[in-house]
Structure 1
Amino acid sequence: MSTELQKAKHLVDNEQYELAISSLENLNELPWKEERYRLLFLAYSLYMVKRYNVAIDTADKLLLMNRNNEYASQIKYLSYFELENHESALNEIISFLSYNEANLYKVTLEELLVDIKNGNISEENTVYKIQELALRNNVSL
């Protein structure tokens, strides 16, 4: 990992998100692997400073490079949730888990099953899809 990217990661690790964003936005022409880290650190930092729309766009760029990056998908999911766009949040998790196994999302699937049980999610197709994804990923209440 390049020195500049390591410095940016250190800023993220120390919750200096605005400084990390400035640093990460100015990094150019990185090798493919490092660019993925840059986008992940940037999306996370943007989420942490409540710039949710930009975090979503940045996570999308990372998912175009690596569609099985669960961290990027979760940043999108959480950003949509914070924007109170619950439909897009659910669509993100459903879309991601339609192609990938859950790891970090196992806890989220458990929470969604509780929401279904409590009647907070009632749209039939969404309920069915979440239950299917939970079953496929060995998640239950």
Structure 2
Amino acid sequence: MTDKLQKVKNLIDNGHYEPAIDILNNLNGLSPKDERYRLLLLSYSLYNIRKYNLAITIAETLLQKNSNNEYASQIKYLSCVELKDYDRALDEIISFLSVNKANLYKITLEELLTDIKDGFINNKDISDKIKELALNNNISL
């Protein structure tokens, strides 16, 4: 990790998202690994200042470069939830977990199972898929 990325991470850790975004937007010539980290920090910072559409766009860019980045997928999912675009949020978690194992998403899957049980998710195809993904990730129904 470059010194500038470490500085940005320190800013983010202390809740200084906007200065971090300014630095991240001006970083160029990074290695592919550092570029992916830059995109992750940028999408996370945008999420935290409630710029959800931009956070989604950056998370999608990162997911194109690294389709198994659960952090990026979760930022996209949570941003969609904040925008009340629940169908898109569910599409994201289902799409991601259809090809990747859950780590961070385990708690989200448990919450979605509760939502199904409580009648908040009524679409049978979606509820069946969430149940299947939960079982595939060793989460009991």
Q: Please classify the TM superposition score into its range, dividing by the shorter chain length.
A: over 0.9
RMSD over aligned Cα, in angstroms? 0.6
TM-score under structure 1 normalisation? 0.98
The answer to whether the 8 Å contact 1:55/1:79 transfers is: yes
2:24 partner SS:
helix
2-structure distance, mates of 1:112, 1:81: 12
Does 2:38 correspond to 1:8? no
2:10 partner SS:
helix
**1:29 to partner: Cα distance:** 1.4
Q: Specify every segment of 5 or more residues in structure 1 that has no aligned partner in the other structure, as ranges.
A: none
Match of 1:87 in 2: 87
Does 2:73 correspond to 1:68? no
Q: Specify every segment of 5 or more residues in structure 2 that has no aligned partner in the other structure, as ranges.
A: none
Match of 1:35 in 2: 35
1-structure distance, mates of 2:122, 2:30: 45
Percent identical pairs in the alignment equals: 62
Count of residues in correspondence between the two structures? 141
Match of 2:113 in 1: 113
Q: Which amino acid aligns with 1:72?
A: A
1:99 partner SS:
coil
2:112 partner SS:
helix
2:30 partner SS:
coil
2-structure distance, mates of 1:92, 1:6: 29
**1:140 to partner: Cα distance:** 2.1
Match of 2:26 in 1: 26
2-structure distance, mates of 1:137, 1:2: 35
TM-score under structure 2 normalisation? 0.98
The answer to whether the 8 Å contact 1:113/1:140 transfers is: no
